[in-house]
Structure 1
Amino acid sequence: MTLQVCLEECMEALDLFLNNHFSESLDKLRPRVKESMYHALIYATVLEMQAMMTFQQDDIVNAGNTMKSAQEVCQRFQIATDRVCGFAEQLQALHADACYAECLLQRAALTFLQDENMVSFIKGGIKVRNSYLIYKELHTFLQSNSSLQGPNHIHLEGGVSFGIGAFNLTLSMFPPRLLKVLEFAGFSGDKEYGLSQLNDGATTNNLRSMLCALLLLCYYTFLTFILGTLLFTTRKMFTFLSTSLQGAIFLFFAGRAEAIKGNIDEAVVLFEDGCKAQQQWKQFHHMCYWELMWCFTYKCVWRMAYFYADLLSNESRWSKAMYVYMKAAYLSMLAPGEARPFGEDEVELFRRVSTFKQKIAGKSPPTEKFAIRKARRYKASCPVRLPVPVLEMMYMWNGFSMISKRPELTEGMLQTLVEAERTLLESPVNEYSMDDRCVIHLLKGLCLKNQRHIQAAEECFNKKKIKFDHYLVPNALLELSVVYIDMGRKEEAIKLLVKAKTEITHLELDKKVFSLTSIADTGDTSTICPICQCAIIGE
């Protein structure tokens, strides 16, 4: 097969994948995985996506072995073309290099996902470095040899754009100190350049367009909530993915975009459509279940939110501790005498949370550690209930930003918090009472900030004496600084952010702390990381 025919077949296979025909996509690729570097790469990529969603050890091992075989196929093409120096052979060698670098990068991702030991971590790091060096060399070569173009050059450029863009964007989100070390070692972490490379790759019709588009959508719908950029990017993705508007992946991101805009009911419809779109890979459903759980949380419909948390705890392996914690949290929001679904008891569920602890890339996810720590108080013979565990976890996932454009949803949250505070004040004082009041005050402050009641919000963010929940101190300082930024009081905001950073360092809440002061410098409050407590993504 010629390189052009291989690429055309792989494009067709990706179209099948985007339109929910997963088995047909793999069937189209499978016969040529031993003879075509692109068939081998795309086949392994699809299996890797499946492994990352199922989180099953067998799937991860299978994907890793398949990616290793794909790397060997690419290597064979590199060796074969090194022996000749014709124009066509030289171009094929460049394609082989790009495919080889992508195999290395994806194998590294699987290594981090699969193994927890330091040796595997180092091996993965070496793969990442080698991949980056190949991409960098290819990028330099293409820029200095613009005349060297063949009929499939757009696919080569797309591959290099994906690699360079992914590296720059990912590294730009590392802590500044670590980024300086990496840049000294030859890596590049330019966020804007990374985004432009991914944008170029996503908006041209090449084999890596889907990967570039998905990475951009992940960035704009999860790591930043910049509405204008999100709308622009989503519009471009609609145009690019116009042939797969009913694809499960596309429906998921379309739902996420609606949720960020505050259109919760529209988001629910899209996530439900994403579940109906296909039945081959149930793991796609889990992404939608997670978002549906939060959508019903924003609407304070605890039973429906519990339903999706229950589905996740039974079907998904990604974070069982988190799912069980959320089930218990939703049950605790129901009235004491109200019947519990399936006869489950929140105290028993809270006590089981720690038994599901796991590690990814050698580390426990921050929110999972947080859930385990919060559930600890239920292990006592006379457990002290958490006042608003659902809303506290919602804050960890940046949920209050999601409802900031919906006054009625914010008002519903505020009423829930007022009722929780009343219940807390009427209960006997215990060792957690002050911490619980501070949690409620912090969350009330977020609601009041959404309602533009700035002075009332400021009063809620004034920290008090904390005994257990030390994360509240830097977070309260952070939220108060955001209020000051909105008011144009940047000097005061900077002082608070520096103080928040000092508190984090002193308490050792999270040693991977990003630049806090960049928020005050730019006035861009959208850079708050939705999943890492106390961690801010900065320049």
Structure 2
Amino acid sequence: MALNVLNTTYSLAKAQLDATKKTSRISGYFSGYYNYFKRDSGSSPTSTASPSSDISTPNGILRAHVVKAECCLLIAVLQLLQESVMSYVKCGLNLRRAYASYNFVWQKYKAMGDDACKYMDRDTISGVQFGIGSVHFVLSALPAKIWKAISVLGWKPDKELGFKLLKECADNKRIRSSMATVMLLAYYATAASFTPQILSEQYTKIAMETLLEAQRYYPNSALYLFFAGRISRLALDLSLSTQSYLYAAEMTKNDWAETAVANACRYEIAVNHMITGNWNEAASSFEQLHKEKYWSPAFCKYMQGSCLEMAGNRSAAILAYAEVPRLVVKKLGGRMSDIDAYALRKVQLFQSSGYQELDLHVPILEFMCIWNLFHFMDKPRLDYCLRSVNKALETIQIQEQEEYDKRSQELAPETSPPDHFDKRATLLLVKAALQNVKGNDPAENTIILNWIIDHKDNLATESWVVPYALWEAGVACWNVNNRNRSRHVWEMALEFSSYDFEYRLAVVSINIIGWEASTTTKKERELTLLLCM
């Protein structure tokens, strides 16, 4: 529905622009009369800051270019969220179209110099500042593979320019100021939550200052309250985070956005419940989200089952898992979304053993590892999670021994050798992530992560484990101030492809490499840009 509205708006703006391509005598007369009137009202006739070719472009035409460009920009954002290769390509092309229109207006704006506000209204200026800033932001969030394709066109993102223009747009308090603030908050909150071990301290303070400034003008904005929940979590104030989400949902009651905001807040509250170990409350929230068909009903049902399993209610967990396959929908060009594919694959794995091997898995902790949620847990809950992982590893070891004992009693045994590489690798990755957060002795983590990397050829189903293990290895190096090694390991992770949540890890790695480069020399920054392109 959003795409249809944006495409319709794009067509209207384009029709307005097409109608003005043929200049009539009347439009030429009015343009000349307008310029004469401006000179007669006090403008210096010798001023050269605004060439007539730029002044003669009516503000309405410039505004139409901005409207057309913003439609392309927002379409690109929607395509980016679909997380498929074709969607990424379309996203890049729409960003290119958006930038072409924005750049046309931007060049006019710069040519007018100090007199720009005489010939362009401030809302059009606000729109072009928001647009160019956002294009550079969104472009920097694309996976490295798509960056390489776009770089062939000679187009390079400039995140610093994006920051500057969005900040100016937000400070000017015009029509796109709120959107610029939302874009900045979304970037700060997403980047810091993707990599809390490294960027949380850097971005949380900036995000909080941006949010407080925005709330001075819109104290009851549900959108800003939602971001208050995200930023409070980054600041490790989970109680305030949950209160902010509840207040945001309350603000939209009987509003057009009531259902959407309520469900988004309910999901974030469920995440807070997981972080605080309230598994039953989290399961209840995911059950409600499944009923509301929020995001991915299959994934919400999978998460409900995983929370129930962690709470010790296996019977209810199995019933929830059993519903997942029928909830999966192929909707992205005939393919499943990454999150649906992940949930379906995990459930099929559980079903293949008749749910008899659930003791060899910790599904909810596996998801929390991928989503980098351990950083927000306190020490007692981290210890509890670590005990759960160690228990599952011990169970694998016991089962392996039983299988070897059975084979030792047979000559040319029919029983296959134990094959628990995928299960063990997943559990070891979760254990390494927990120990990274706890700050345990890095020597043990080195052994664990090396085992995963050494056995990568034995992993049949969990192809995501190796690149994520490289990510954790980089974090471990970062924790001991070996940053060059961290960058090298993260670059190794970017070489992997076709695994679950590839896009998420690609964005994480690119943002960290780029952020660290911004704190070093110009030569290193150029090297990082080349890596990303």
Q: TM-score range by the shorter chain?
A: 0.7 to 0.9
> Which has the larger displacement, 142-151 or 414-423?
414-423
> Which has the larger displacement, 448-457 or 147-156?
147-156
Pick from 440, 457, 476 the counterpart of residue 483 of structure 1.
Answer: 476
Between the aligned partners of 1:348 and 1:399, the Cα distance in structure 2 is 23
Between the aligned partners of 1:234 and 1:81, the Cα distance in structure 2 is 50
Structure 2 residue identity aligned to 1:137: F
Between the aligned partners of 1:308 and 1:267, the Cα distance in structure 2 is 16
Does structure 1 retain, via aligned residues, the 8 Å contact 2:6–2:75? yes
Q: Residue 441 of structure 1: CA displacement?
A: 2.0
Q: Residue 222 of structure 1: CA displacement?
A: 1.2
Between the aligned partners of 1:420 and 1:477, the Cα distance in structure 2 is 22
Q: Deviations over 1:384-412 (max 9, x none)?
A: 32621011111222212333xx3344334
Between the aligned partners of 1:442 and 1:121, the Cα distance in structure 2 is 29
Between the aligned partners of 1:507 and 1:123, the Cα distance in structure 2 is 21
The structure having more radius of gyration, on CA atoms, is 2
Q: Which residue of 1 aligns with 2:318?
A: 346
Residue 316 of structure 1 aligns to a residue whose secondary structure is: coil
Q: Which residue of 2 aligns with 1:71?
A: 13
Q: Which residue of 1 aligns with 2:444?
A: 456
Between the aligned partners of 1:326 and 1:379, the Cα distance in structure 2 is 16
Query: What is the aligned-residue RMSD (CA, Å)?
Result: 3.9
Q: Residue 306 of structure 1: CA displacement?
A: 0.5
Structure 2 residue identity aligned to 1:273: Y
Between the aligned partners of 1:508 and 1:367, the Cα distance in structure 2 is 8
After TM superposition, list the pairs within 5 Å mapping 1:25-44 onto structure 2.
Answer: none
Between the aligned partners of 1:81 and 1:289, the Cα distance in structure 2 is 55
After TM superposition, list the pairs within 5 Å mapping 1:415-426 onto structure 2.
Answer: 415-426=387-398
Q: 1:151 to 1:258 in 2, by over 3 A?
A: farther
Between the aligned partners of 1:522 and 1:104, the Cα distance in structure 2 is 27
Q: Residue 157 of structure 1: CA displacement?
A: 1.8
Between the aligned partners of 2:202 and 2:363, the Cα distance in structure 1 is 32
Pick from 282, 289, 294 the counterpart of residue 305 of structure 1.
Answer: 282
Q: Residue 124 of structure 1: CA displacement?
A: 7.4
Q: 1:145 to 1:448 in 2, by over 3 A?
A: same
Q: Residue 210 of structure 1: CA displacement?
A: 1.5
Does structure 2 retain, via aligned residues, the 8 Å contact 1:493–1:520? no
Q: Residue 107 of structure 1: CA displacement?
A: 5.0
Does structure 2 retain, via aligned residues, the 8 Å contact 1:217–1:253? yes
Does structure 2 retain, via aligned residues, the 8 Å contact 1:78–1:96? no
Q: Residue 142 of structure 1: CA displacement?
A: 1.1
Does structure 2 retain, via aligned residues, the 8 Å contact 1:169–1:194? yes
Q: Which residue of 2 aligns with 1:153?
A: 121
Q: Residue 304 of structure 1: CA displacement?
A: 0.6
Q: Deviations over 1:470-508 (max 9, x none)?
A: 322232232123212322334544554455445x25989
Q: 1:190 to 1:322 in 2, by over 3 A?
A: same
Pick from 379, 384, 402 the counterpart of residue 407 of structure 1.
Answer: 379
Q: Which residue of 2 aligns with 1:240?
A: 214
After TM superposition, list the pairs within 5 Å mapping 1:75-224 onto structure 2.
Answer: 75=17, 83-84=27-28, 85=31, 86=34, 90-107=58-75, 127-146=94-113, 147-150=115-118, 153-176=121-144, 178-185=146-153, 187-224=155-192
Q: Deviations over 1:44-103 (max 9, x none)?
A: xxxxxxxxxxxxxxx447634653565367548856998342359723322232123223
Between the aligned partners of 2:79 and 2:145, the Cα distance in structure 1 is 25
Does structure 2 retain, via aligned residues, the 8 Å contact 1:203–1:236? no
Matched, 1:433 2:441: no
Residue 322 of structure 1 aligns to a residue whose secondary structure is: helix
Q: Residue 152 of structure 1: CA displacement?
A: 6.3
Matched, 1:264 2:238: yes
Residue 357 of structure 1 aligns to a residue whose secondary structure is: coil
Does structure 2 retain, via aligned residues, the 8 Å contact 1:286–1:312? yes
Q: Which residue of 2 aligns with 1:29?
A: none
Q: 1:501 to 1:162 in 2, by over 3 A?
A: closer
Does structure 1 retain, via aligned residues, the 8 Å contact 2:229–2:241? yes
> Which has the larger displacement, 431-440 or 162-171?
431-440
Matched, 1:294 2:287: no
Q: Deviations over 1:10-46 (max 9, x none)?
A: xxxxxxxxxxxxxxxxxxxxxxxxxxxxxxxxxxxxx
Does structure 2 retain, via aligned residues, the 8 Å contact 1:306–1:330? yes
> Which has the larger displacement, 509-518 or 100-109?
509-518
Does structure 1 retain, via aligned residues, the 8 Å contact 2:69–2:97? yes
> Which has the larger displacement, 79-88 or 473-482?
79-88
Structure 2 residue identity aligned to 1:455: A
Q: Residue 130 of structure 1: CA displacement?
A: 2.9
Between the aligned partners of 1:360 and 1:499, the Cα distance in structure 2 is 29
Q: Residue 354 of structure 1: CA displacement?
A: 6.3
Does structure 2 retain, via aligned residues, the 8 Å contact 1:105–1:128? yes
Q: 1:478 to 1:327 in 2, by over 3 A?
A: same
Q: Residue 128 of structure 1: CA displacement?
A: 4.3
Between the aligned partners of 2:202 and 2:424, the Cα distance in structure 1 is 36
Between the aligned partners of 1:284 and 1:507, the Cα distance in structure 2 is 31
Q: 1:486 to 1:121 in 2, by over 3 A?
A: closer
Does structure 2 retain, via aligned residues, the 8 Å contact 1:162–1:198? yes
Q: Which residue of 2 aligns with 1:356?
A: 328
Does structure 2 retain, via aligned residues, the 8 Å contact 1:258–1:266? yes
Residue 236 of structure 2 aligns to a residue whose secondary structure is: coil
Residue 300 of structure 1 aligns to a residue whose secondary structure is: coil
Q: Residue 414 of structure 1: CA displacement?
A: 2.3
Q: Residue 268 of structure 1: CA displacement?
A: 1.1
Q: 1:319 to 1:234 in 2, by over 3 A?
A: same
Gap regions ≥5 residues in structure 1: 1-58, 527-536
Q: 1:498 to 1:254 in 2, by over 3 A?
A: closer
Q: How high is the TM-score relative to the length of structure 2?
A: 0.74
Structure 2 residue identity aligned to 1:478: W
Pick from 359, 362, 375 the counterpart of residue 347 of structure 2.
Answer: 375
> Which has the larger displacement, 193-202 or 515-524?
515-524
Q: Which residue of 1 aligns with 2:364?
A: 390
Between the aligned partners of 2:192 and 2:218, the Cα distance in structure 1 is 25
Q: 1:188 to 1:207 in 2, by over 3 A?
A: farther
Between the aligned partners of 1:182 and 1:457, the Cα distance in structure 2 is 38
Q: Which residue of 2 aligns with 1:45?
A: none
Does structure 2 retain, via aligned residues, the 8 Å contact 1:264–1:295? yes
Pick from 472, 488, 504 the counterpart of residue 465 of structure 2.
Answer: 472
Percent of pairs identical after alignment?
21
Q: How many residues align?
A: 462
Between the aligned partners of 1:165 and 1:346, the Cα distance in structure 2 is 48
Structure 2 residue identity aligned to 1:376: Q
Pick from 228, 242, 247 the counterpart of residue 254 of structure 1.
Answer: 228
Q: 1:108 to 1:176 in 2, by over 3 A?
A: closer
Q: 1:202 to 1:365 in 2, by over 3 A?
A: farther
Q: Residue 262 of structure 1: CA displacement?
A: 1.5
